[in-house]
């Protein structure tokens, strides 16, 4: 499956740090804009830097009712420890088999590795921004959100 701008984001279910039932994008985030970011592994230096950047800009997204979701192949217990260690105010989703990452072109099967990619979904879960660059993630997403607000686009 190929993911492109202005296409519908695929629905998925995944274990969440927020509850016992699997998180379902279309059900639990219905009518919400979403930042869905894929990253390789909890507790690694670059992934920790990235998650802390999302934590540090979380209030901006919260004020705009944009849900932030991080997803990697780590299991839910590792995610809970990572969330607690870095005081993350958003959910982490477990994708141990890489099924969700495959849906979002965020999986490299030859090395069984999740790529670092961030998607901004509008309230209808259409993809309005894609970032493959860790150094552009928050800045690019912030700029895109501001631009969409100015255009009065539904986020």
> In the chain, what are the domains?
13-150 (3.40.30.10)
3-11: average pLDDT: 94
Q: What confidence tens digit (pLDDT) does each residue in 123-146 have?
A: 999 998 888 865 555 566 666 666
Catalytic residue among 25, 29, 47, 141: 47
How many CB atoms lie under 10 A from the CB of residue 61? Answer: 22
- Any catalytic annotation for residue 52? no
Q: According to the model, what pLDDT value does residue 148 have?
A: 61
Does residue 110 carry a pLDDT above 90?
no
Residue 71: count other Cβ atoms within 10 Å of its Cβ: 24
Q: Rounded distance, CA 32 to CA 75, Å? A: 26
**CB atoms near residue 23 (< 10 Å):** 21
DSSP type of residue 39: -
Q: What is the pLDDT of residue 155?
A: 57
**Would you give the DSSP letter of residue 126?**
B
């Amino acid at each position: 499956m190929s993911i492109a701008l202005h296409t519908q984001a695929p629905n998925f279910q995944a274990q969440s740090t927020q509850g016992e039932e699997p998180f379902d994008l279309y059900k639990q985030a219905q009518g919400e804009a979403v930042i869905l970011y894929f990253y390789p592994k909890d507790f690694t230096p670059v992934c920790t830097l990235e998650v802390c950047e999302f934590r540090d800009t979380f209030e901006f997204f919260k004020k705009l009712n944009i849900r932030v979701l991080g997803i990697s192949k780590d299991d839910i217990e590792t995610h809970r420890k990572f969330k607690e260690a870095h005081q993350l105010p958003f959910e982490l989703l477990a994708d141990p088999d890489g099924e969700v990452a495959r849906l979002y072109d965020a999986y490299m099967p030859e090395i069984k590795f999740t790529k670092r990619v961030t998607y901004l979904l509008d309230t209808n879960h259409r993809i309005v921004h894609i970032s493959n660059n860790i150094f552009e993630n928050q800045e690019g997403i912030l700029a895109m959100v501001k631009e969409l607000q100015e255009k009065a686009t539904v986020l």
